[in-house]
Amino acid sequence: MHICIYEADRPSEALQPRFGTYAQMFQDWLGAALPEARFSLAHLAGGEAPPPPGSVDGVLITGARAGVPDGLDWVARLMDHLRDLRAARVAVAGICFGHQVMAQAWGGRVDRAACGWTIGRHLHAPTPDGQAVFGTMPLACVSVHQDQVIDPPPGVRVLLASDRSPHGAFRYDFPAMSVQFHPEFGGDYVEAVLESGLGLRFADDLVAGAREGLHERLDGAIVAEGFARFFRETIGRRG
């Protein structure tokens, strides 16, 4: 099983010696639940082109500091590519920015969230559809985003929801699944992001609230199992 990780961003150079790249985080996170997968990389934000549709079994899109509403050329090209992947029925998964760009490409609408930045550990409750994928208990994962899917794409099923992210995870009728939060992030990385600021100035009260609970239980492994089942089922069925 060959999965290409689309790097939509990389951590700051100051954080990479300690935490690695986002692609490395994804390989560690998903690889533990999907050991049969072989990973390759395409650094889209760095100018690399994605592989042609059908040349890999699946795609996994990382988070990014860039936003869908920013109107960047490489994001527009990615949305065109996502429509080609849908036509070719390639299995696509996305996290945070990946969740958003998939939704925008396939008929939804992404914009700045009215609630502003969502940062820190939050509980995401499974919907009836989501219980079949992630179980019945609320999932604790960390979020770092200011954009959200405002209008979901036609026909999508919502799998997870929270007070701040009502469209927390999607499953599509064609082979695609995504989540708004970051199951690959640990509390230490989010602490480092809050300290470095990602080049932004976060309000002191936002930072203080975001630090609460960062080192309590996180359920990224449960989310990884759900994505591993998605790839096994969709890639196996296509083959």
Q: What is the pLDDT of residues 137-174, one digit of tens each?
A: 999 999 888 899 999 999 999 999 998 899 999 999 99
141 is catalytic: no
* Mean pLDDT to the nearest integer, 31-43: 96
Give the count of domains, the chain.
1
Strand 139-145 to 147-151 pairing = unpaired
124 is catalytic: no
Question: Binning pLDDT at 50, 70 and 90, where does residue 58 land?
Answer: very high
Which of these is catalytic: 4, 7, 81, 96?
Answer: 96
* Mean pLDDT to the nearest integer, 198-205: 68
Which of these is catalytic: 7, 167, 184, 225?
Answer: 184
The domain that holds 222 is classified in CATH as 3.40.50.880
Question: Binning pLDDT at 50, 70 and 90, where does residue 197 land?
Answer: low
Structure tokens at 196: 């470095």
Which three-class secondary structure state does DSSP give residue 63?
Answer: coil
| Angle (CA) 224 106 32, round 5° | 10
The span from the CA of 45 to the CA of 52, in Å, is 17
pLDDT at 59: 97
Residues paired with residue 40 on neighbouring β-strands, in sequence order: 4
pLDDT at 239: 46
* Mean pLDDT to the nearest integer, 52-63: 95
13 is catalytic: no
Structure tokens at 47: 């100018």
pLDDT at 231: 96
The span from the CA of 32 to the CA of 117, in Å, is 30
**Contact in structure between 108 and 151 (CB atoms under 8 Å):** yes
Question: Binning pLDDT at 50, 70 and 90, where does residue 238 land?
Answer: low
- Kindly give, in sequence order, each residue whose CB lies less than 8 Å from that of residue 95, ignoring residues fewer than 6 positions away: 26, 60, 61, 62, 63, 178, 179, 181, 182, 183, 184
Domain that holds residue 130: 2-238
* Mean pLDDT to the nearest integer, 103-115: 93
| Angle (CA) 108 232 226, round 5° | 60
Kindly tell me if the per-residue pLDDT of 136 is higher than 80. Answer: yes
